[in-house]
Amino acid sequence: MANHILAIHSAGGEIAFAVAVSTLRSLEVTALGRVASSSPVIAELAGERSWDRVIASVPAEQAVHRFLEFPFHDRRRLSQAVGPALEEHVPLSLDDAAVSFDATSSTRTGRILAAMAARTAIDEQLEALAAHEIVPERLVWAPSAVLEIYRRAIGAGKDFVAVDLGEEAAVIGAYRDGALCGLHVVRRTDDDVFVRNVGWSLRTLEHLPDSIVVGGSRAGDVVGPLAEILAGLSIEHLPFDCPVQLHEGAAPGWRGLAAPLGLVLAASGDLGPPALEFAVERDDDTPALELAGTGRRLAPWAAAAGVLLAASVGIEQTRVNAQAQRLQERADAIYGAVMPGRVGGAGQRVKMELRVSELEQRRAELSGSGPHGSPLAVLVRMSQAVPKQLDVEFESYIYNPPSVRLRGQGGSFETVTRLQEVLESVRTFGDISVSDVRTAVDGAGVVFELRFKIEDAQQPA
């Protein structure tokens, strides 16, 4: 479904316009021109059809701008900080002006360009357009539209200065490494003063590339004197090939109509940074009407997207269900092969994990190859280490890997000391301690408690 776009740039007593048709895959400008502000052509053009998108510009000289830098880049925080920061540098108040800002490059980091325009100037612009029966949905600051055409015509990533010499002002934009690094707006006066001011603005750019590209409706009158003032610098005209697709015979003089061409790109959502827009104040019922119109235009696309989404979800869900069924059948087969009882029900995974733990523990106890050896293996190593002539007898044995606790009875205190020394000589036993040594109740020998740890069950005793 095609969308019909009407782009209007009104400034300097003239109105430049562009008519375009856009689809999902193409954008073509079918008409492009310039007429006097008093001409009835614009009103006739506005009533020619029901336009899908209407966009207009805020003239370059109606806004003041500054480059700003912040330690953060998210849009929400910038929207809170840009206005107060910009107010400190311009002769306008936030209470009486509208603010717009955007990043200066596609990376969305680094410097931003911010502009402020008086609300009265925007209202006057809207009233002038309304006299021609033009009610724009969006307002784009003219330099954003103009410089996008130059950037596309010269090539992304090139270092150059664009000088658009228009009827109302000259827009000067310097690009370095694909980012806008300098911007001047020079108001139109008589030719001599105008040329001098443009030359001075170029000389004051912080980064002045060798390539200066000139275009605009007044380029033919001004470029000669400008070249004399900028002696030593390379000045070239805007390339002949238009960066936006034009219908055959739409406008051979497109190089003087960069603003409406850039507005067409903005209306189609293809305007590169910095894209500065100002809000359009409307009556209470206007948004509802626009929303209804937009809904009617988008309804067929929404229906098609809904059908495709439902189909894709159904196909994907079917595939997932089939895969889940195969996995469940495989899990039931494994469970039935190793577990007693009925297959199915809750807790199969927990039962299998407990079963695995039980089998591993039994295997370790039977083979003595567990991480700390089985209880029987520990007793075997102790019996191998303790001499038979040592008069000790163990009464209890608690094994909590890697710790061992023994309670027993010995012939004397010296016997217990000797037992401790013997165990300390075995590499697999460590942290050996004897506690609670006391004379037996019947007076025959002593009772004691022995604690130690198994350090390496794989080493022979």
- Strand intervals (E) in 354-445: 392-400, 403-410, 429-439
Distances (CA, A) of 274 to 103, 113, 144: 5, 7, 6
- Residue whose token pair is 């658009």: 164
pLDDT digits (tens, 9 = 90+) for 368-404: 555 556 777 788 888 888 888 888 888 888 888 788 8
Q: Does 260 score more than 90 pLDDT?
A: yes
Residue 384: CB atoms within 10 Å: 10
- Residue 82: CB partners within 8 Å, gap ≥ 6? 68, 99, 101, 112, 114
Distance CA 71, CA 114 (A): 16
CA distance between the termini of the chain? 87
Q: Does 139 score more than 90 pLDDT?
A: yes
For the chain, what is the mean pLDDT?
84
pLDDT digits (tens, 9 = 90+) for 303-342: 888 888 888 888 989 989 899 888 888 888 887 777 776 7
Distances (CA, A) of 288 to 27, 78, 301, 308: 28, 29, 20, 29
**pLDDT band at 457; cut points 50, 70, 90:** very low
- Residue 151: CB partners within 8 Å, gap ≥ 6? 162, 175, 272
**pLDDT band at 277; cut points 50, 70, 90:** very high
Q: What is the pLDDT of residue 94?
A: 87
Distance CA 372, CA 432 (A): 16
**pLDDT band at 285; cut points 50, 70, 90:** very low
- Residue 451: CB partners within 8 Å, gap ≥ 6? 403, 404, 405, 406, 431, 432, 433, 434, 435
All structural domains of the chain, each given as residue ranges with its CATH number in brackets, are: 3-281 (3.30.420.380), 375-454 (3.30.1360.100)
Under a CB-based contact definition with an 8 Å cutoff, are residues 105 and 273 in contact? Answer: yes
Helices (H), 12-97: 41-46, 75-87
- Strand intervals (E) in 59-166: 63-68, 97-103, 112-118, 138-141, 160-165
Closest CA to 121 of 149, 97, 141: 97
What the block records as the tokens of 33 is 């021109």
Residue 445: CB atoms within 10 Å: 19
